[in-house]
Amino acid sequence: MALTAFVLEMTALYFQHVMMLKPCVMCIYERCALFGIMGAGIVGAIAPKTPLHWAAIVIWLYSAWEGVRLAREHTMIQLHPSPFVTCDFAARFPTWLPLDKWLPSVFVASGDCAEKSWLFLTLRMPQWLVGIFAAYLLVGVLVLIAQAFKSKRRYLFSL
């Protein structure tokens, strides 16, 4: 899971720094949701048998849910542009976590949320992200169910 989120983050940076596509505020927020999923995957991989794995699952589910919500909102801005529904000019991070100050090459927005600059198989980037985050959310729910109902012993042959 962490590896797939990392690949998506590297793809976003490729689009930004090589293809020169400017990320908007919604893109930056969607990036943060991906970092949450990546962080949850790393914590889950490091501490799979400790109570931390429950925290990782919660972070995973929350990040995937927020990612779906953000990507859907971004999709609606692109599909139905309106002068009354726009995104912010700059990402708003908490004062205790100023990501745009710490790593501006990753977290500073400079694009317009309504701009439609990339298309693949008739879908725009936020439309793809709705599906990607929905897949993360579905797998996260399945993992949560499997973890909650797993048995203590596993038998190879049971009668």
Domain-by-domain residue ranges, the chain? Answer: 1-156
Q: Is 32 a catalytic residue?
A: no
Q: Verify whether residue 72 is a known catalytic residue.
A: no
Judged against a pLDDT cut of 60, whether residue 158 lies above it is answered with no
Choosing from 24, 69, 72, 124, the catalytic residue is 24
Residue type, 19: M
Q: Is 122 left (phi over 0), alpha (psi -120 to 50) or beta?
A: left
Lowest mean pLDDT among 76-90, 101-115, 145-159: 145-159
- Single out the catalytic residue among 69, 72, 92, 113: 113
Contacts of 130 (CB under 8 A, 6+ apart): 68, 71, 72, 75
Task: Choose, from 32, 69, 87, 154, the residue flagged as catalytic.
Answer: 87
What distances in angstroms separate CA 79 from CA 5, 17, 59, 103, one per listed residue? Answer: 26, 25, 30, 30
Give the residue, 33 or 82, on which the prediction is more confident.
33
The confidence score (pLDDT) of residue 101 equals 73
Comparing 94 with 120, which gets the higher pLDDT?
Answer: 94
Q: Which CATH number fits domain 1-156: 3.40.50.720, 1.20.1550.10, 2.60.120.10, 3.30.70.1400?
A: 1.20.1550.10
What digits encode the pLDDT tens for the residues 116-142? 777 668 777 888 889 999 999 999 888
pLDDT surpassing 70 at residue 114: no
Regarding predicted confidence, which is higher, 90 or 37? Answer: 37
pLDDT tens-digit readout, 49-73: 788 888 888 899 999 999 999 999 8
Instruction: Give φ, ψ of 85 to 5 degrees.
Output: -120, 100
List helix spans (H) across 80-151: 99-102, 104-107, 125-148
Q: Is 87 a catalytic residue?
A: yes
* Average pLDDT value for residue range 141-149: 83
Rounded Cα distance between 39 and 60, Å, is 8
